[in-house]
């Protein structure tokens, strides 16, 4: 549905919010619900006793399979939605799964075949005001993005600069 153009790759290097290295400090500042994008971030939140409302996982970190310890903590428990999302894209399946998972009253895991890296942006667009989207910043920590009209507008701007049917993507993400 959407593809990240080469010209936009640099826009994703800077964190979209504050970076935390302590999970407890992040949780003290986080809103509700929490959407976690990434296996390691989800692992840290679960170990700290807070299962994210929505977890987006692909079984990898820095292009390598996660450790057995992380995989064990992430296994089982929550209902799963299986999606395919090729690298550097946002598939229609991914956007639909985010909308569905955020709307559910139970914790949900979106398991991605492919890559989940870009899911942060549509998660910010789809989540309600007051929510938090948490993702990993490689070799730095966890980024906490409070969902506000301002952060949603920033995420919409970045999604809007991707190649593909942007309006159809936003239609899939809008709150129902």
Q: Which residue numbers belong to the known binding site?
A: 39-41, 58, 116, 139
Closest CA to 175 of 118, 121, 123, 110: 123
Q: Which residue numbers belong to the known binding site for GTP?
A: 39-41, 58, 116, 139
- For 149, list phi and psi in degrees, rounded to 5: -55, -35
Q: Are strands 108-114 and 54-57 parallel, antiparallel or unpaired?
A: parallel
Question: From start to end of 7-166, where are the E strands?
Answer: 19-20, 34-37, 54-57, 60-61, 64-65, 80-85, 89-90, 108-114, 132-137, 141-146, 163-164
Cis peptide bond N-terminal to 59, omega within 30: no
CB 173 within 8 A of CB 95: yes
């Amino acid at each position: 549905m959407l593809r990240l153009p080469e010209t936009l790759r640099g826009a994703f290097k800077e964190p979209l919010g504050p970076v935390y290295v302590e999970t407890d400090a992040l949780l003290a500042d986080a809103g509700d619900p929490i959407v976690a994008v990434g296996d390691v971030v989800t692992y840290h939140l679960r170990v700290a006793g807070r299962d994210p409302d929505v977890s987006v996982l692909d079984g990898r970190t820095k292009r390598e399979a996660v450790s057995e310890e992380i995989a064990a903590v992430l296994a089982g428990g929550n209902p799963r939605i299986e999606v395919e999302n090729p690298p550097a894209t946002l598939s229609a399946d991914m956007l639909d799964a985010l909308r569905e998972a955020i709307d559910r009253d139970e914790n949900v895991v979106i398991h991605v075949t492919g890559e989940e890296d870009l899911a942060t942006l549509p998660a910010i667009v789809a989540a309600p005001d007051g929510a938090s989207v948490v993702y990993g910043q490689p070799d730095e920590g966890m980024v906490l993005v409070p969902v506000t009209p301002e952060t949603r507008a920033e995420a919409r701007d970045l999604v809007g600069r991707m190649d593909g049917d942007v309006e159809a993507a936003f239609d899939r993400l809008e709150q129902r």
